[in-house]
Amino acid sequence: MHYFDQLLALLQTERAEDRRQYQQLTETTSIIERRASGLAWYPIAIRGSELSRGDYLTIEAERTTHQDISHQLRFGMPAVLFSNYNPKADRVEGTISHQSGNRVRLTLRTDELPDWARDGKLGIEILFDDNSYDEMQQAIKQAKARLDSGNDSLVNILTGQKAPTFRQQTPTLHLPKLNPSQLNAVGMSLMANELAIIHGPPGTGKTTTLVQVIKAHIERDHTQLLVVAPSNTAVDLLSDKLHAEGLNVVRIGNPARVSDRLMALTLDHKMAEHPYMKDIRKSKKQANEFKNMAHKYKRQFGKAEREQRKALFDEAHRIMKDVEQTEQYIIDDILAKAQVITATLVGANNYVIRQRTYDTVVIDEAGQALEPACWVPILKANKVILAGDHCQLPPTIKSQEAARNGLATTLLEKCVANHPEAVSLLNVQYRMHEHIMRYSAQVFYGNALTAHTSVAGHLLTEGDRAVQFIDTAGCGFDEKPEGTSSTNPEEAALLFRHLTQLAGELATTYPPARFPNVAVISPYKQQISILNDLLDQSADLQPYRHAISVNTIDSFQGQERDIVYISMTRSNAGSDIGFLSDIRRMNVAMTRARKKLIIIGDSATLSALPFYSDFISYAETINGYQSAWEWM
């Protein structure tokens, strides 16, 4: 089957499953349940409105209660404004044009607010995101056409048909803050004509290296770069770091992390600061006044009033046309001056930059990027730099069938396998004690990693052990199935007994304000909820509460803590370990720790997989194995 036909089929399977799950959730649940699952804000209050491009009305809304619930409302997503008096009929669709804190701007597909919007009980709910799937589908079809034409070398290389080429001349680099493997990655990326891959295992300074790669390309080629990543958080991190290096960055879309520094990089903010913006504000105000005057004519009126109303609408429309032209001029002006444009993968096709092409496109966190989404920015490039780690978390995929048939294999993995000559491995890590690093380095990175001298021997206290495996085998801590999840209350209780004892020991060295930060991780959501309850109930740990966070493995990707506890949860007679068999996820969990890693689990269950039995043997060799009976 043709490379892209297969990719298209996998994407269609994923889209169908994603839509099915969305429909199941929205059709069988109440607005209260949908609010709890992050799909809706309810109730909201409308705080303002104005006309925007194409005579559409943009409203600004605020959620007035339940502000602590995390939500999925994001820039660019389709959403609907509805009235809960009659949610099936009283609804108008639109697109989220901005989201920050508890406020959202929604551009509606109408030029005036419907009458029902004045009666209260309003909410905003996200719709199924067909747009992202359409963009990915379109990109795959274009890539297929380019591959079939036979003269697009980049597409040929990325699909494994051709080998990448490199310049012969090694660039002279003066970057004293980089280590030799990081310097090599910058040099290799400059020598690559079509493809460079930066493989950054945990703690090896991938972002630091990538920033220098981008700077080096701008200094050498004097061209604009497009820098993309699968998540808003990853885009924010890079945008911030590039800006700190003095580069002119324009962030397309709006940041997940709402800091003033990041806001200042957005296109919206740069437009607001532009000298021509005063004229636009004046014109918009005038257009709104004409529209308001036109709306004052009630339904029963004669010919003269009708003509007067039409004239007012026409004038408002003419003014908005002028506003649009001026806005376009401002956008073009800002983008022309940018050295780096940053966006999410699909955001690379945002209408303001849709037509732009770039000599080089950088895809960060490529190990978490769905391949169809990668083709959206790739089609705009002559050369691609992929950065990430295919030994950490894979992309999130809704359809198990699509994942099984190849959608879970990322473009990064394929390119690493097909083009090892394009890969630069960053081999010095600056996070973990060498005992924490060693097992991961052995299993995933061919023992190629070393711990930098600044971290290789760092411990919480002198004589402490950096790795502990606490074995609950034989303790009778049986897991309890909870829907699609699992729990193990006794294991959770043991974890907090251990943490409380450790906190007592550390209290003599660290005052509460300087207490080492702690992550308590479990792969299972229901176990997380038990762990959170136990933490809230623990009086002994309250002085250190600010330093302790409890969450799933996925939420700690890219983060680090002084101490990491992992509650493995699974303990059963059949040695069934479920999705603990996803060892890449465990690689992420085990490499979050800087000075101490404590894994609590049942060796009898875990040893069904060589990865865990080998880890337990490793813990024994470094004197890190203990039986849970010591804490019983």
Query: Would you tell me which CATH number, out of the four given (3.30.1330.120, 3.40.50.300, 3.30.565.10, 2.40.30.270), belongs to the domain 38-128?
Result: 2.40.30.270
- pLDDT for 324 equals 86
CA 283 and chain centroid, separation = 38
Query: If you average pLDDT over residues 283-290, what whole number do you get?
Result: 81
Confidence check: pLDDT of 258 > 80: no
- The mean pLDDT value for 401-418 works out to 97
Domains 138-248+339-426 and 430-630 share a fold: yes
Checking if the pLDDT of 299 tops 60, the result is no
pLDDT in tens, 481-498: 888 789 999 999 999 999
Maximum CA extent, the chain:
94
357-380: average pLDDT: 97
Q: What value does the mean pLDDT take over residues 33-55?
A: 87
Token representation of residue 294: 């036109």
Specify the pLDDT at position 193. Answer: 97
- Closest by CA to 106, choosing from 117, 121, 120, 115, is 117
Say what the pLDDT of residue 628 is.
Answer: 93
In this predicted model, what pLDDT tens digit does every residue of 75-122 receive, in sequence order? 888 999 999 888 888 899 999 988 888 999 999 988 888 889 888 889
Asked if pLDDT for residue 314 goes beyond 90, the answer is no
- Whether residue 389 is predicted with pLDDT greater than 90 in this model: the reply is yes
| pLDDT band, residue 468 (cuts 50/70/90) | very high
Could you report the per-residue pLDDT of 208-255, keeping only the tens digit for each?
A: 999 999 999 999 999 999 999 999 889 999 999 999 999 999 999 878
Do 471 and 602 contact (CB within 8 A), yes or no? yes
Type and span of the H or E element at 229:
strand 225-229
Domain 430-630 classification at class level? alpha beta
**Best mean pLDDT range from 167-181, 421-435, 579-593:** 421-435
The pLDDT of residue 297: 67
When the pLDDT of each residue in the chain is averaged and rounded to a whole number, the result is: 92
Instruction: Tell me what pLDDT residue 55 has.
Output: 73
Q: Are 628 and 475 in contact (CB under 8 A)?
A: yes
SS (H, E, C) 72-129: CCCCCCEEEEEECCCCCCCEEEEEEEEEECCEEEEEECCCCCCHHHHCCCEEEEECCC
Is pLDDT larger for residue 293 or for residue 520? 520
Predicted pLDDT of residue 115? 87
| Per-residue pLDDT reduced to its tens digit, 448-458 | 999 999 999 99
**What are the sequence ranges of the domains in the chain?**
38-128, 138-248+339-426, 275-336, 430-630
Q: How far apart are CA 267 and CA 239, in angstroms?
A: 13
- Asked whether the predicted pLDDT for residue 56 surpasses 70, the reply is yes
Residue type present at position 464:
D
* Residue 184: per-residue pLDDT: 97
Percent of the chain with pLDDT over 70: 99
CATH architecture of the domain covering 138-248+339-426: 3-Layer(aba) Sandwich (3.40)
- 3-class DSSP string for 357-389: CEEEEEECCHHHCCHHHHHHHHCCEEEEEEEEC
- Pick the closest to residue 370 from 343, 409, 402 (CA basis): 409
- Residue whose C-alpha is closest to residue 177's, from 168, 189, 165, 186: 186
Between the alpha carbon of residue 372 and those of residues 12, 14, 56, 230, 409, the distances in Å are 11, 11, 31, 11, 11
Cβ 421 vs Cβ 376: under 8 Å = no
The answer, yes or no, to whether residue 630 has pLDDT greater than 70, is yes
**Quick one: 620 exposed, middle or buried, by C-beta within 10 A (0-12, 13-18, 19+)?**
exposed
For residue 631, pLDDT over 80 is answered with: no
Q: Note the pLDDT of residue 282.
A: 85
pLDDT at 579: 83
pLDDT at 378: 98
Element (H, E) at 4: helix 3-27
Q: Please calculate the CA angle 68-72-76 and round it to the nearest 5 degrees.
A: 130
pLDDT value of position 51: 79
- Collapsing DSSP to helix, strand or coil, 443 comes out as helix
pLDDT score, position 300: 57
pLDDT value at residue 301: 64
